[in-house]
Structure 1
């Protein structure tokens, strides 16, 4: 059994890596075609475009891994069937359960690889690629809204601890590639939603540990909700060179507003979801993305289960090419259905775990049905 395990692992790994490399080359070509349209604009050079495309490849590895595993495994098993090797293995008492066990062991390595790319390599590479492009073009991140980017925060009497004394709405016009913010406005409300303070600042620099330093500050304090008619100055305005701000909003949270949730790590998604929950904001989109990150590596085992029935199918002509084409179609359908269910779950407010797991469960059911059919015939 160890010899068979080693033989399967070597052949399937070689085929999967070849399929993955072919897909990456294809995706890199199309991405490069899109980047060439921007080369020469605002100082964006060809070498920077190439580096941007290369840094985007880890994200493609994560997305394409299940499909590459499916196609590579189908090709290998089809070759075994064409050379009658699989028939000899079955005649040597290798059952379907044993073959499935061999494939699942191989899938464990690919699942770990998918997790590494999805959690560590791809998010950082995507972040660096975007910063590289922005720095090359001398641009900054800005919101699609004319009023800028908005975030909500809570105010506590002891920084990040203690009792909640109000809420804060943060408006930012732009984020620089180095994390600095510009065009900052803060609107602070008390617990009864009366305006308590308004702050405008030209720039802001993150100091670490949830602390910001706002520069060139104009602060207006409101005598909100007071019934004392002796107050002659309801608004006090003063200008400050700088102001320290303690907030749960960090550069990582701000960058989430521009990032694709599918390219974020599960850790970042969970942290941002907790921030939204603390501020009573909608979290469905990020919860679905989080559970997709958890479930997606398990789709490797689903793809291997789908590939196993192809070892039992025999065609007189065009067998291997037909099986590979079928595998490509199944992989494409899986990706489309996975994306479709994300939108359907968001529109119909399905539970996030159900939305993320349902496509894999459907294809696993298809794999079990196919195995039952080939066993019967």
Structure 2
């Protein structure tokens, strides 16, 4: 059985990696075409566009691995069936479920790879890519409103007009309220830098609103302690789906403390936890197709079916995310359901094949 495992591992891994490379090349080509529209903005030249596309590639790797595993397994097993190698394995006493266990070991390798890329590589590369683009095009991070970014920080509401790629804040407005939500202080700072666990503000103007008198205070420098951290501002650079699970958890905690809606980020966190398991589900789904019309179904048909199922899986994932956000479903339910449906479908087909 060890020889068979090594043989299957070699055949499937090579095909999965080739398909992954092909899909990454396709998505990178689309990224390149899209970024060429911004060519010439600021210092955004061809070399920086290519660097942006290269740094964006790990995010695509994370997205396409399950699809590549499905297509690669279907093609590899289809080739084994075509040359009657699967029949020889069955005649030798190896059951369908034994083959499934062997494939699960292979799928586990890609599940770990998916988790590693999604947790350690994609968040960093995506952040670097966005910072390079922002700096080169002389732009700022996209804001939630025309007036800039608004953040609730305890009893304060903070408005930042611009956030630079290095998380430097420009034109900061801080509105501080008391326990009864009476406005007590309005502060404006021209610039803010984060050092030594606090923000260092420059060119500060503070308006104090007391019961008896109001007065304005001007300071060249001031410090500001806040729950807002650069890593939280990095959320503006990286989509929630491409953040690490740890950063998502930290940001959810921040939103919860400030009694803000966390559904989107909880959804992204659950997807981060469930998505690597998709590689295991895909190998289970691919196995029954190896025994269906073994000789009449060509390799191109297998690849086409695999790609269609992969597209269906990604579509279901996105559909359940949007439906979950619209209908306020439990994030765990929205994240798990598409993968669970494919798993049940694969197990049902395996059971049918085994009973034939």
**TM bucket, shorter chain:** over 0.9
Name the structure 2 match of 1:145: 145
Deviation at 1:259, TM superposition (A): 3.0
Residues 52-81 of structure 1: CA deviation (Å, up to 9, x unaligned): 000000000000010000000101000000
User: What number of residue pairs does the alignment pair up?
Assistant: 356
Deviation at 1:238, TM superposition (A): 0.6
Partner SS for 1:56 = helix
Deviation at 1:343, TM superposition (A): 0.7
Residues 326-348 of structure 1: CA deviation (Å, up to 9, x unaligned): 11100000000001000111111
Are the aligned partners of 2:123 and 2:238 in contact in 1 as well (CA < 8 Å)? no
Name the structure 2 match of 1:41: 41
Are the aligned partners of 1:81 and 1:314 in contact in 2 as well (CA < 8 Å)? no
Matched, 1:169 2:176: no
Deviation at 1:146, TM superposition (A): 1.3
- 1:222 equivalent among 198, 209, 212: 209
Q: For the structure 1 residues 75 and 126, does the alpha-carbon distance in structure 2 shift closer, same or farther, using more than 3 Å as the test?
A: same
Specify the structure having the higher radius of gyration (Cα): 1
Deviation at 1:319, TM superposition (A): 2.3
After superposition, residues 158-307 of structure 1 pair within 5 angstroms as 167-209=155-197, 211-223=198-210, 226=211, 231=212, 233=213, 235-307=214-286
After superposition, residues 1-377 of structure 1 pair within 5 angstroms as 1-154=1-154, 167-209=155-197, 211-223=198-210, 226=211, 231=212, 233=213, 235-377=214-356
Are the aligned partners of 2:119 and 2:245 in contact in 1 as well (CA < 8 Å)? yes
Are the aligned partners of 2:134 and 2:140 in contact in 1 as well (CA < 8 Å)? yes
Partner SS for 1:244 = strand
Deviation at 1:222, TM superposition (A): 1.4
Q: Distance in 1 between matches of 2:288 and 2:296?
A: 18
Give the alignment's Cα RMSD to 1 decimal: 1.1
Deviation at 1:318, TM superposition (A): 4.4
Residues 31-55 of structure 1: CA deviation (Å, up to 9, x unaligned): 1111111112222110110110000
Residues 76-129 of structure 1: CA deviation (Å, up to 9, x unaligned): 000000010111011111001110110111111101100111001001000000
State the TM-score, normalized to the length of structure 1: 0.92
Are the aligned partners of 2:168 and 2:194 in contact in 1 as well (CA < 8 Å)? yes
Are the aligned partners of 1:142 and 1:173 in contact in 2 as well (CA < 8 Å)? no
